[in-house]
A = this chain, B = another copy of it.
Amino acid sequence: MATPTKPASIMDVARLAGVSVPTVSRVLTGAARVAPDKVERVNEAIEQLHYRPNEVARALVSGSSNMIVVLASNTTYYGYAATIQGIEEAARVAGMMVVITVIQSSDKAHVSSAVQSALRQPISGIIVLKFDVAGVAALAQIPNTVPVAVASGIVEDDYPQAVMDEFAGGEAATRYLLSLGHATVHHVSIPQSGATEDLRTLGWRKALTDAGIPAPPVIPSSWDPQTGVRIGRELAARSDVTAIFCGNDEIAMGVMNGARSGGRHIPTDLSVVGFDDHPLSSLWSPALTTVRQDFVALGRNTFELLWNSIRKIPAPSHTSEATQLIIRESSVPPPS
């Protein structure tokens, strides 16, 4: 019952079945044929002893573990959580375990501590969620001796990387707003994490340029929707802004909230478009027009990339998921 008995080892099984240890190993791994009667005796012994192979010992022999780590700066934001869910899903079918290591902040110390902690483990690969600066910083600290795959972000290094077509998404959203008759589209961006602007912003810029409209200054936001609220309030005072494309849905919700408190009515006075298609976006009032991204698929893709790299299987080193404009109620033609 509560006796903390040591778990049965392969030796116990061998003894009970009356065979040698390697024979048990053979029926376990299927590495070689074993006489049917012995197979049966071994299996019986396994059952009887509730034997489960010690993965640590296996890992020691094989020199590789079935563990990968995901480095992420936050696991509560929807995009992060959904991506991790996708990674786990794909990893599970491949028989790999995923350990989560969160990077507390983009401080060099925190990043380094996270990376070192990951490296200390018997891992066969690392996935970094390059949604933000912390991700970029982590990537830079990982030695190139361990397989790495990166999810999202700008493609700027030669790691296998799964991204979404955020450029096209930003472009589509902006083009759509323009087609509604807005003179221009303002952009509240997600935090920049590299030297260049993020792709959503770049897509927005492209659409504007194509239309011959000078891009107004980008309004940078943090990930915190409260920043969006402040920005929304400020923008509410400016009569020249009739359409805002936000870097993500949470920020868009903040902006709407702020604009509203600043006296604007949405969408009549002000159209707002988000990015991501957060699960609550369709419930929002007015229902949020947005660009859908499939984070779970992104996670799956990233794992596949890593998995190929681990097994040294030649394969394309990049994947790109399409994005999709979802038109709902938060966007209408400008007030006349």
Contact = CB atoms under 8 A, between A and B. Distances in A.
A326 interface: no
Nearest to A87: B100
Contacts of A84: 75, 100
Nearest to A68: B99
Contact of A229 (B98, B260, B283, B284): B283
B122 A101 contact: no
A78 interface: yes
A143 B53 CA distance: 16
B250 A120 contact: no
A137 interface: no
Interface residues of A, number: 56
Contact of A81 (B50, B54, B76, B101): B76
Contacts of A7: 145
A25 to B, nearest CB: 16
A101 to B, nearest CB: 7
Interface in A20-62: 50, 52-57, 59-60
Given A81-B76, A144-B2, A52 B120 contact: yes
A279 B81 CA distance: 14
A98, A102, A280: which has the most chain B beta carbons within 10 Å?
Answer: A280
Nearest to A143: B50
A72 to B, nearest CB: 10
Nearest to A65: B56
Nearest to A146: B7
A145 to B, nearest CB: 7
Given A66-B121, A280-B280, 6 more contacts: A7-B145, A54-B60, A54-B122, A55-B122, A57-B60, A250-B279
8 contacts: A52-B119, A55-B120, A60-B60, A88-B100, A89-B102, A97-B121, A99-B99, A225-B283
